[in-house]
Amino acid sequence: MDEVYNLDWFTSASKNECSAAVGFKWMLNQRQVSAIFLFRRNLLRRMVSVLANTYDKDFKLLNGTHKSHVHSTMEATILAKYKPEINVTLLIPELKRTEETVAKAVAYFKNIRHVVLYYEDLVNNRTKLKDVQEFLRVPYRELESRQVKIHTAPLSMQIENWDEVQKVLTGTPYERFLYKD
């Protein structure tokens, strides 16, 4: 599993008061294993989130604490003010590497019951949560999150060197990330 996820147990979400989110659970005494993959369709948005999260780990913008997930619009607004500057030299190789990692993860589990979900679909289509519950074979419940989305503005307003990023991605297979959310 470490090859697929490169898990870092020492900086887990549980240390950041995020114990309600479970990323991986391995139960050896179970007869059937099911996997749920949650990916981002827009890898440029994912990059913004990762860079902003890394920045906040260092500078702890919320009263000296680092939070990956927030529960108020005030906290989300504070964290969203950070606009990362993306290294355009590494941009395309990084997007390609991320795509390859996603493909490898799914390929490793091709013989195991699994479902692939995309963050954007869960946010925009409430019936996806019902699909997940059906996949898990649990009774349907209306689910609700207390988390507040941090990055809501267009990408052009979230990336410090937007013009450079736009120039590098235009005409490539990754151009779609510039405009599509």
Q: Is 52 contained in some domain?
A: yes
Q: Is 56 contained in some domain?
A: yes
Nearest-angstrom CA–CA distance, 35 and 153: 32
At 23 the pLDDT is 59
Nearest-angstrom CA–CA distance, 69 and 49: 11
The SS3 of residue 166 is helix
**DSSP 8-class letter at 85:** P
Q: Is 24 contained in some domain?
A: no
| 137-174 residue pLDDT tens | 999 999 888 999 999 999 999 999 999 999 999 999 99
Q: Where are the alpha helices (DSSP H) in 32-118?
A: 43-59, 73-80, 88-108
Q: Is 32 contained in some domain?
A: no
Residue 65 belongs to what domain range?
Answer: 43-179
CB count within 10 Å of CB 45 equals 19
| 5-47 residue pLDDT tens | 444 444 444 455 544 445 566 665 666 888 999 999 999 999 9
Query: How many independent structural domains does the chain possess?
Result: 1
